[in-house]
Structure 1
Amino acid sequence: MTPDLLLRGGTLLRPKTKTARSADVLIRGGTIAAVGDDLDVDGDVPTYDASHAYLSPGWMDMHVHLREPGYEHKETIATGTRAALAGGFTDVACMPNTDPPIHTRDVVEFVRERAEATPVGVYPIACVSKERAGHEIAEMADLRAGGAVAFSDDGAPVQNAGLMRRALEYSRMLDRPIVNHMEEETLNPSGQMHEGTVSARLGLDGIPAASEDVMIARDIELAALTGSDVHVAHLSTARGVELVRRAKARGIPVTAEVCTHHLALTDEAVEQTAFDTNTKMHPPLRSAADVAALKEGLADGTIDAICTDHAPHATYEKEVEFTAAPFGITGLETAWGLIGRELIAPGVLSVEEAVQKLTVAPRRILRLDVPEIVEGEPARLTIFDASTEWTFTEAHVRSKSQNTPFLGSEMVGRPWAVYSDGQFVEHEEA
């Protein structure tokens, strides 16, 4: 525990008010005691030189897979939150495709209780349907009472439009969004990668962009019908960006997120890496035109939040033929380095805009309070820069799994430390 700490000379970002200033931050007993210039401190208080860095409210990843219960060989709540801290995140929302799924209140409470041992805030997203089977709505009110912050059958799209409508009507009463994996599965029952010239050249079954676009269009219309909030998970297509943009212009309650890997790689990576299974994710890596549209959607505000879809798998599960490998890669440790490289350095987003999509946006979507760096508030913040160039290696991995295509990749920007729940976690140079 580090209840008392003085952060000296950082650039303090306040994304809620869109302001920035240089300041010292004094933390006493896990609470922000003072914010100001050249603070005088009584007593022996540890000091951290933040003059090289930004300070912001703690980052949140609203789309991660912690795998517990049921798949602890891939990840646990303890190891997943350790990876979150390494990536600069003080909070995560975890998806329900566990075993058993997070479809009953006792599983929600199990996840929350397991997370009490970590300084990372863990917010369970519960199932829309029982067993994630898409046949019968889960006990949504009971799940919310147990602590669920949203509902999703992530990885198993809600295919039945009637069930989705009823779930949206319930979710409106409960004031919780539905986060849907946008995919019309009948369009790609055996797809392995993005459908296009690369998949044709490689002889792999393709997943057409239309499978995502069709589901987004359906859910936008259901949101318009019910007045309920729909959140588009891991948006990956140019047409999907345009559908969300037009829906927002119509006043329909729809929000969207994008994953860092969909900003950094295209479907050509599958060919360039000779079928490396760490280039296999769901939705798949798309075309260069899709990547450009995603960046444009971030810049103009169409896409609200940036996430990782952190999806760990054991080494033996990924070291198989491409068609036999599970979808998904890890992402917590590389998120900010990719944001810096792909968005901030090229001028797609400013540092302040990127931080807003990691702090304010995900919490507003999930109806959570946004931490503030002001006197009297609990200290929950991230210390980082946006310019350090570094190479991501195995030494930086804190997840239980290493299924990432970014080992050996150059990054821009480093998270240096987090303070959360009375604990200061500083990242050593690797």
Structure 2
Amino acid sequence: MKLLIKSATIIDKSQASLHMQQRDILIEKGHITSIGKRISADKKVKVVERENLYVSPGWFDSSVSFGEPGYEERETLANGLEVAGRSGFTGIVLNTNTQPHPDTGGDIVFLKETAKSHCTALFPMGTVSMESRGKALSEMFDMHSAGAVAFSDYKNSLDDPNLLKLALLYTQNFQSPVYSFPQDGQLNPKGQMHEGEVSLKLGLRGIPALTESLRVARDLAILEYTGGKLHIPTISTGAAVRLIDAAKKKGLDVSCSVAVHHLWHTDAALDGFDSVFKTLPPLRDKGEVKALLKGLREGVIDYVTSDHCPLDVEEKRKEFDQAAFGALGLEETFGVLNTLFGPEMAAGILGRGRERFGLEKTTIEAGQQANLTLFNPSADFTLTPKDMLSTSSNSMFIDVPLMGKVYGIIRGDKTLF
């Protein structure tokens, strides 16, 4: 199949002569064969033309949850990958919060085989511990051999420091990142939201910022002792940003991410006890949001993730303290980042991450396999319930006016528009 993308503004800082220039891009048999100011098309070529068309290296998300296996009513792998593709993502790293937990090589093979026909590539993680119980190490080498790109117990904190130490030591044999969720659960066993003025007003148990900074400091100390590759997902505090910045300056191999909703919403959103805003880590106050935005602009925070977590309506429509933590994010991520930072920075942020997981970096140049996201950054975008692609509805961006519309993705010989 031949595709010709016409008059697209290219966003790719790795290609200085093409970055922010308008070009035609010819794709044949899944590879970019030509980039020029004007490429002619014959009858065998499918022409892609869109209003105010932009193209960037395909977007990547380092923390996505679906439901399958075990919780298919939340979101199946097939529907979740469709949502990811239509939201502009050509690759996602899948979290381990399924049933059963992926803690053997066979579990990883099942996930890869189930997802292989989709336009969006799925890169599974395996658990750090067996059944994510935090007791004994999982079959890490077998899972790595089967295709696991990292190891995570999702949002089950690694409370046993020796477990993290062993995981960081063991994974040095194959250079895979170990995720450690940044929360000391023993400090807030029943916390519901950020500890501050709003939690005091609402009478809800708080989750202090200390729970995060204490765990991040511990994990960085272990990393300094053992070596290895540590990833700290979805940080939410300025203290964590400062600790990670200092660790990077020491030369420690650490990366971190922030969830997109932590860049937009604050704990004030919980004033009406709406459980759709109940997430883990919790939404923080304005000061913490400001620190996260600064950390992202300065490059201390490596990635922005959707932290997509579909939940059945029964899991959210409960008394606030009984409702589950988690929110959708795939469909909203580009709109939020584009509104906050503009298309150049938004696409740059979303193109990061592959190398951290041992995957090849994508670029827009002749000879490379096509891995592209197509979008219009100036289009109005407001997510409404009837327009949602996910089979769950727990989005905190319903009816929030944003900017940016995704047209589709191309990955090799697969397309989704």
TM range (shorter): over 0.9
- 1:354: which partner in 2? 346
Q: Does 1:379 align with 2:370?
A: yes
- 1:45: which partner in 2? 45
- 1:132: which partner in 2? 132
- 2:101: which partner in 1? 101
Per-residue deviation, 1:383: 0.7
Q: What CA deviation, in whole Å up to 9, does each residue of 1:189-216 have, x standing for no partner? A: 0011111111111011111111111111
Per-residue deviation, 1:11: 1.0
Supply the distance in 2 between the matched residues of 1:64 and 1:153 (Cα, whole angstroms): 13
Supply the distance in 1 between the matched residues of 2:310 and 2:230 (Cα, whole angstroms): 26
Contact 2:31 2:412 in 1 (8 A): no
Contact 2:32 2:367 in 1 (8 A): yes
- 1:390: which partner in 2? 381
Q: Does 1:412 align with 2:412?
A: no
Contact 2:267 2:283 in 1 (8 A): yes
Contact 2:15 2:365 in 1 (8 A): no
TM-score of the pair, normalised by structure 1 = 0.94
- 2:33: which partner in 1? 33
Supply the distance in 2 between the matched residues of 1:174 and 1:365 (Cα, whole angstroms): 13
Per-residue deviation, 1:17: 4.3
Q: What CA deviation, in whole Å up to 9, does each residue of 1:126-172 have, x standing for no partner? A: 11101101110111111100100001111101111111101001112
Supply the distance in 2 between the matched residues of 1:111 and 1:142 (Cα, whole angstroms): 14
Contact 1:9 1:51 in 2 (8 A): no
- 1:251: which partner in 2? 251
Per-residue deviation, 1:180: 1.3
- The residue correspondences of 1:209-358 to structure 2 (distance < 5 A) are 209-271=209-271, 274-344=272-342, 351-358=343-350
Contact 1:312 1:328 in 2 (8 A): yes
Contact 2:59 2:88 in 1 (8 A): yes
Supply the distance in 2 between the matched residues of 1:190 and 1:399 (Cα, whole angstroms): 29
Supply the distance in 2 between the matched residues of 1:68 and 1:97 (Cα, whole angstroms): 9
Per-residue deviation, 1:51: 6.0
Contact 1:10 1:51 in 2 (8 A): no
Contact 2:193 2:206 in 1 (8 A): yes
- 1:364: which partner in 2? 355
Q: 2:390 aligns with which of 382, 399, 403?
A: 399
Q: What CA deviation, in whole Å up to 9, does each residue of 1:94-132 have, x standing for no partner? A: 011110101111111110011013111000011110110
Q: Quick one: percent identity of the two aligned structures?
A: 35
Contact 1:31 1:378 in 2 (8 A): yes
TM-score of the pair, normalised by structure 2 = 0.97
Letter matched to residue 333 of structure 2? A
Supply the distance in 2 between the matched residues of 1:229 and 1:166 (Cα, whole angstroms): 12
Q: Does 1:16 align with 2:7?
A: no
Any unmatched runs of 5+ in structure 1?
Answer: 345-350
Supply the distance in 2 between the matched residues of 1:311 and 1:126 (Cα, whole angstroms): 17
Task: Give secondary structure in 2 for the equivalent of 1:46.
Answer: strand
Per-residue deviation, 1:50: 4.5
Supply the distance in 1 between the matched residues of 2:13 and 2:218 (Cα, whole angstroms): 33
Task: Give secondary structure in 1 for the equivalent of 2:353.
Answer: helix
Per-residue deviation, 1:14: 1.9
Per-residue deviation, 1:232: 1.0
Q: What CA deviation, in whole Å up to 9, does each residue of 1:388-407 have, x standing for no partner? A: 22211123311111111211
- 1:68: which partner in 2? 68
Supply the distance in 2 between the matched residues of 1:395 and 1:52 (Cα, whole angstroms): 26
- 1:147: which partner in 2? 147
Q: Does 1:189 align with 2:189?
A: yes
Structure 1 range deviating more: 259-268 or 369-378: 369-378
Task: Give secondary structure in 2 for the equivalent of 1:354.
Answer: helix
Task: Give secondary structure in 2 for the equivalent of 1:386.
Answer: strand
Q: What CA RMSD, in Å, does the superposition of the two structures yield over aligned residues?
A: 1.4
Letter matched to residue 244 of structure 1? I
Supply the distance in 2 between the matched residues of 1:200 and 1:236 (Cα, whole angstroms): 19
Per-residue deviation, 1:218: 0.9
Supply the distance in 2 between the matched residues of 1:330 and 1:4 (Cα, whole angstroms): 35
Contact 1:417 1:425 in 2 (8 A): yes
Supply the distance in 2 between the matched residues of 1:191 and 1:70 (Cα, whole angstroms): 27
Structure 1 range deviating more: 20-29 or 198-207: 20-29
Q: What CA deviation, in whole Å up to 9, does each residue of 1:261-314 have, x standing for no partner? A: 00110000000xx11110001001011000000000011000011111100001
Structure 1 range deviating more: 48-57 or 61-70: 48-57
User: After TM superposition, what 4+ stretches of structure 1 lie above 3 angstroms from structure 2?
Assistant: 15-20
Aligned residues: 415
Q: Does 1:424 align with 2:391?
A: no
Letter matched to residue 352 of structure 1? E
Supply the distance in 1 between the matched residues of 2:14 and 2:325 (Cα, whole angstroms): 35
Contact 2:67 2:98 in 1 (8 A): yes
Contact 2:41 2:47 in 1 (8 A): no
Per-residue deviation, 1:322: 1.0
- 1:111: which partner in 2? 111
Per-residue deviation, 1:67: 1.8
- 1:207: which partner in 2? 207
Structure 1 range deviating more: 239-248 or 414-423: 414-423
Task: Give secondary structure in 1 for the equivalent of 2:204.
Answer: coil
